[in-house]
Amino acid sequence: MDKINITNYTPPDRPELMRLLLALQRDYFAENAERQFQELRREKDSVRSFEKYLDEIAEEKESWKILMARNEAGRVVGMIIGSTSEDEELVLGRMGQFEDWFVEPGVRGQGVGLQLYRELEKWFKEKGCQQVCSDTWRGNELSIKAHEKMGFFVSGVKFSKKL
């Protein structure tokens, strides 16, 4: 396997990050999520939604982390995005939120996802986080298995209904 280099996101990475976000949230979701859930999450314009998402992250840099994974040739093969927040009512109220995580199909199962998550978790700890939460859709077994491998447990169940 190629040696993988994990780096902080910088603005020139934006087109590659957009490519991976769309591959995850639009294409992979469309291929893997249940039809009725897809209908509820369908966006008017995915590209515009992600442009907006990245603009918002850029405005709140301190509470967000984006990491990019590159192979030896310098090609981007994965990314991870996390954020931090505070819930003052909780004893362990400093939270890390694990937002987006994607590794290209051709390099999955070789430890790239784990490397990305480890770096993100290091940052959560540096930021004083006391817990990390994350979610995915029902049936995304790859994600569920990978989360369990990183030490997560399933902590809740979400319900949706079309009206």
Residues at the contact surface with ligand COA, assessed by CB under 6 A: 24, 28, 101-103, 108-114, 136, 140, 142-143, 145-146, 149
Angle between helices 112-126 and 141-149 in degrees, nearest 10: 60
Query: Which residue has the closest beta carbon to ligand COA?
Result: 113
CB of 5 to ligand COA, least distance (A): 14
User: Scanning the structure block, which residue is given the tokens 């199962």?
Assistant: 109
Nearer to ligand COA, 93 or 114 (CB): 114
Nearer to ligand COA, 131 or 150 (CB): 150
Cα separation, 81 vs 68, in Å, equals 9
CB of 97 to ligand COA, least distance (A): 12
Nearer to ligand COA, 93 or 118 (CB): 118
Cross-strand bridge partners of residue 103: 78
In the chain, the DSSP E strands lie at 5-8, 64-70, 76-86, 94-103, 131-134
